Every structure is written in structure tokens, then in C-alpha cells.
Amino acid sequence: MHIPFDQLKAEFKRVLLKLNFTHERADFCAQIFAENSRDGVYTHGLNRFPAFVQHIKNGLINIDAQPTLINNLGAIEQWDGNLAPGILNASFCMDRAITLAEQNGIGCVAIKNTNHWMHGGTYGWQAADAGFIGICITNSIANMVPWGGSTNALGNNPLIIALPRADGHVVLDMAISQYSKGKVLQYQSFEDELPFVGGYDGDGNLTKDPNAIIESKRLLPIGLWKGSALSMVLDMLVSALSLGKTVKQITDQGNESSASQVFIAIKPFNA
Amino acid sequence: MHIPFDQLKAEFKRVLLKLNFTHERADFCAQIFAENSRDGVYTHGLNRFPAFVQHIKNGLINIDAQPTLINNLGAIEQWDGNLAPGILNASFCMDRAITLAEQNGIGCVAIKNTNHWMHGGTYGWQAADAGFIGICITNSIANMVPWGGSTNALGNNPLIIALPRADGHVVLDMAISQYSKGKVLQYQSFEDELPFVGGYDGDGNLTKDPNAIIESKRLLPIGLWKGSALSMVLDMLVSALSLGKTVKQITDQGNESSASQVFIAIKPFNA
């Protein structure tokens, strides 16, 4: 079944307006959700939209909130996301990072109390479209077992690195798990096995079975001990820079809200 | 066999002085090589010293060269390393990044035409000791096969992320290969198998045999396709920011010299 882009976006927007979004904010969020589906990132497009709506209904997302500035040290700023929709906060932060990079060559914005940014690549493209190198990092709820451990303590903390190119940008957008949670859910919905081991079953054995991984909630880090360490350090980096919640604090509250994120924009010397 | 730190350092210094290093530069390099051995990073301490000496004798390292400033955009600078010893250039660059971060909250220094920095963690510790978050990236000669490929085209491009802590810094220092080349050489010298697959043999099969991996020169990226992509993007990042050589250009010249590196220092808001 194929649905035209405009029809998909209009339907997202209709739902968001019914949830009392302003026209401008509904239009922006609907555009991003529709683009994510259009670009093949189904896991953070239509497939994710119901969870986004549920978070709004549960009060985990404040649809009218705006980020507020806490600290500015020149080329780096700290913001409070006030639990606004993650898409809006992330887009705002990368815009600020680009402005700081225009003034200083490099700009860094850290934000606490924000929400899931959906497709992280969106903000990498945003930087690259403006002619800047972009780096974005977020933490998440615990969904990986530290190497040698048996209980979830690490987030898969996606990392985005984007490079502007006249002939088409290069954008890396990867979770630190071998498969993102959304990708495992996608294999599960198609009743397919993963091509490679992607997590642990309830007995702690590595498995390709998406059902077992979704049930155990234990994704496998890339590079075994290496991804385990990288995930921990990325969490420390975003929570230290934003003075926001760590993976443990997000996990302890029982739902994936009030994440910590960092956005860096760098002006290339040959631009 | 145990050798006292001072004796090891003095011996390194004696050799470097004989190679016509100044006393100051010989002392600094000897200190770092001795510390790398003392801290258990044998692969970049005593074990690596003969290769360092050989590079000097081959003219790949210019022992008296100083880095020169090419561009300053405020909080970001581009330098030419002029093929000086990698240890001296890297330490200088992180010092500059810290100075820029003191002034702007964040500082970024990109350097081209530099040499192997030995133990990358050194420059992460340097940032953390000064109270700054440190991020360092280098490219390398091609030693990994891109996912799905059959010939070496990727460097293992180490990544360092350091976080200052009153109770002891946290420093991640990892190559993007499952095992660094130095670590595979170490297993080879002990005639041990790797605990997990770490590269390909000559027939393209994954193997735990260090001899086969050293012979094929094909390390396995962490996370299979993910490390493959991360390595490529890190190479693009350091070469684009420094306007220096890429992994391909380093590889084509036939020896691991004139690498591209990036050093970032960030001032924590709660410092």
C-alpha cells in the first residue's frame, strides 16, 4: 500500500491539531514524521507516531513548552527542554549550534529534559544543509547489557555524524546497539530472523530471534565490550554537558522521557 | 622481568638524544613512551619504540619540526604538523584546544601532516587533568575491510572520549576495529588465539588467529557494518577538518605517516 506524502503528513497534522498543537508546531512535527516514513526510516515515522501520541496523552511530552537557556559560555550553551516534543527541541538546538558555529567556528548545545528526537539523522541533515559538519548524541532508556553483565544498565545512545558535500551529504546515524530497537521491532513485525545476533534471550544467550530480544529488552552492543564502553561514555558526556538525566535516572523513572542530548556544529575551513 | 620506570625512561631518552633530539623533546617523548608501558599499553610503549626510531631514520618523522597555524575561526583552528613526532604534535594540539575552550567554552584543533600519537588516551588524560572533557580522533593506514568488501580501504581510526572526575577520570580509548592492530600483535607475540573473531584470513573467512590477521592485514570493524561506516565517517571528519590526508592517501603512499587528527576540549558547566 502506497500513501502519498501529502496525505500522510496531513493525517499526522490532523491528529496533532486535535491534541491541541498550534498549527505551526503541528505542521513541523507532521513534516518530520512524514519525511521519516518517506525516507525509509519507518521505525521513526508512521510506526512510531502512536507512541508519540501516547506520550502526549500521558503527560510525558508538553506540547506547548519551549526550551529555556540556562548557561552560555561563548560557543557552548546549556538549555532546559522543559519536556517539549523532542523533534522541536532537537531542531531548535541544532539551529542554535549552527548560529554559535557561524560566530565561533564551532558551536555546542547541550539540552536536558527533552524527549525522543525520533530520526536522529534529521538534525545531521539540518547541519549539513546549512554547510556545517554536525554531531548529535542522545541517551535513552536502558536497553543493553554491559559486557559481562546480566541486567540492562546501558542505553543504545544514538550517535549522528554528518558531513556536508556538494554532491550529497554523508550522514551516519547509528544506535550503539548492533540493531536499533526500532529495527528489531521491524524484523519482529515481518516475522523475520535478524541476519546476525542482535541481543540476548531470557537465559542470557545471544540470539537472532527478535521476539526473544524484545521480551528480554537486551540489545547487543556493537563490538561487544567496545560498544558497551562507548555507550557508557556517551551517556556520561550528554548528561554531564546538559546536567541532565543519565540512562539510569531515565530508566528508574520507568519511561523514556526527559533525555539528555548534545548538538555540535562545526564550520569547515574550505566552506 | 621488571624494569624501573626511571631506568626505562632514561634508556628511551638516551636513544632519542643519540638521534639528535633536543633534551626537552627527548625527555617529553621518553616520558610518554615509558608511561605507556607503565600503564599497561605495551603496544604503544616499549613494543612500539623501535618502529618510532625506524620512522625517524627513514625521514618520515622530522624530529625538530614545529606545528604551524594555518587558519583560526575563533574557537577552531587548523594546523600543519610538518611531520613532527606525533606525540609532540598531539600534546600541543590538545593544549591549544584547552586554551580555546577556556576562552570560548569549547575548542577544536585540527592538524594535518602529523604522525602516530602512540597511546591516544594520553591526550584524553591531558584534557581531563585540566578539568575539560576531551575528544580526540585520528585516521590511520588502511587495515580494515569495508563491510561486504574484500580489500582493505578503511583505517581503524581510534576515538578517545575523556571525562574529568574528582574521583578519577573516565577515559575511553578505542580503535574502531574489534582489536587494535597492536593488540593483535600482542596476542601473536604470546602465541595466543584472540578470544573472539578479530579479522579475516587470506581467504576472507573470519578468524581468531592473530598470525592470519597480521598476514592479511584485515582487522574486523566493531559492529560489522556499523564500525565500517563509523570508520569511514571519522576519516572524512578528520581529513575534512584538517584539510589533510585521508586513509586512502596515507595508504597509497605506502607507510603510516602524515595522518590527520582532531582534538576537542569542552568546559563542563559545573566546573
Band of pLDDT at residue A271, cut at 50, 70 and 90: low
Task: Name the residue among B74, B178, B243 with its Cβ closest to that of A103.
Answer: B74
Residue B271, pLDDT score: 62
CATH fit for domain A181-216, picks 3.30.360.10, 3.40.50.300, 3.30.60.50, 3.40.50.10800: 3.30.60.50
User: Per the structure block, which three cell numbers stand in for B220?
Assistant: 574486523
CA-to-CA distance for B78 and A85, rounded, in angstroms? 37
Q: Summarize pLDDT for B60-88 with one digit per residue, the tens.
A: 999 999 999 999 999 999 999 999 999 99
Question: Using the beta-carbon criterion (under 8 Å), do A106 and B75 form an inter-chain contact?
Answer: yes
Just give the CATH number of A69-177+221-266: 3.30.1370.60
Q: Touching check for B231 and chain A: CB below 8 Å?
A: no
CA-to-CA distance for A65 and A94, rounded, in angstroms? 17
Band of pLDDT at residue A33, cut at 50, 70 and 90: very high
B2 has pLDDT over 90: no
Q: Please calculate the CA angle B167-B173-B175 and round it to the nearest 5 degrees.
A: 165
Average pLDDT of the residues in A103-124:
97
Give just the sign of the alpha carbon dihedral A207, A210, A215, A216: positive
Residue B253, pLDDT score: 95
Q: Touching check for B166 and chain A: CB below 8 Å?
A: no
CA-to-CA distance for A238 and A93, rounded, in angstroms? 13
Query: What is the rounded average pLDDT for all residues in chain B?
Result: 95
Optimal mutation site among B137, B163, B233, B263, interface A, most CBs of chain A within 10 A: B233
A18 has pLDDT over 70: yes
Question: Using the beta-carbon criterion (under 8 Å), do B269 and A78 form an inter-chain contact?
Answer: yes
Indicate the domain borders of chain B: 1-58, 66-175+223-266, 181-216
Query: With helix as H, strand as E and coil as C, how does B228-262 read?
Result: HHHHHHHHHHHHHHHCCCCHHHHHHCCCCCCEEEE
What pairs with residue B77 in β-bridges? Answer: B72, B109
Q: Is A44 a catalytic residue?
A: yes
Average pLDDT of the residues in A114-121:
96
Give just the sign of the alpha carbon dihedral A53, A57, A136, B226: negative
The 3-state DSSP composition of chain B as helix, strand, coil percent (nearest 5) reads 40, 20, 40
Band of pLDDT at residue A178, cut at 50, 70 and 90: very high
B7 has pLDDT over 90: yes
CA-to-CA distance for A203 and B136, rounded, in angstroms? 38
CA-to-CA distance for A193 and A67, rounded, in angstroms? 41
Q: Summarize pLDDT for B20-61 with one digit per residue, the tens.
A: 999 999 999 999 999 999 998 888 888 899 999 999 999 999
| CATH 1.10.1530.10 for domain B1-58 | yes
Q: Which of the residue ranges A82-86, A227-231, B266-270 would you say has the lowest mean pLDDT?
A: B266-270
A43 has pLDDT over 90: no
Whether ipTM exceeds 0.90? yes
A2 has pLDDT over 90: no
Residue B43, pLDDT score: 82
Residue A181, pLDDT score: 85
Residue B118, pLDDT score: 94
Q: Touching check for B224 and chain A: CB below 8 Å?
A: yes
Q: Touching check for A108 and chain B: CB below 8 Å?
A: yes
Residue B270, pLDDT score: 76
Burial string for B98-119 (b: 16+ CB within 10 Å, else e) reads bebbbbbbbbbbbbbbbbbbbb
B82 φ, ψ (degrees, to nearest 5): 50, 30
Just give the CATH number of B66-175+223-266: 3.30.1370.60
CA-to-CA distance for B246 and B240, rounded, in angstroms? 9
Residues of A in contact with B161 (CB under 8 A): 230, 233-234, 237
Q: How many CA atoms lie within 13 A of B33 on its CB side?
A: 29
Q: Summarize pLDDT for A148-158 with one digit per residue, the tens.
A: 888 899 999 99
Tell me what percent of the residues of chain B surpass a pLDDT of 70: 100
User: Per the structure block, which three cell numbers stand in for B12?
Assistant: 628511551
Helix ranges (DSSP H) in chain B: 5-18, 23-38, 49-57, 86-104, 121-129, 181-189, 210-216, 225-242, 247-252
Average pLDDT of the residues in B92-101:
98
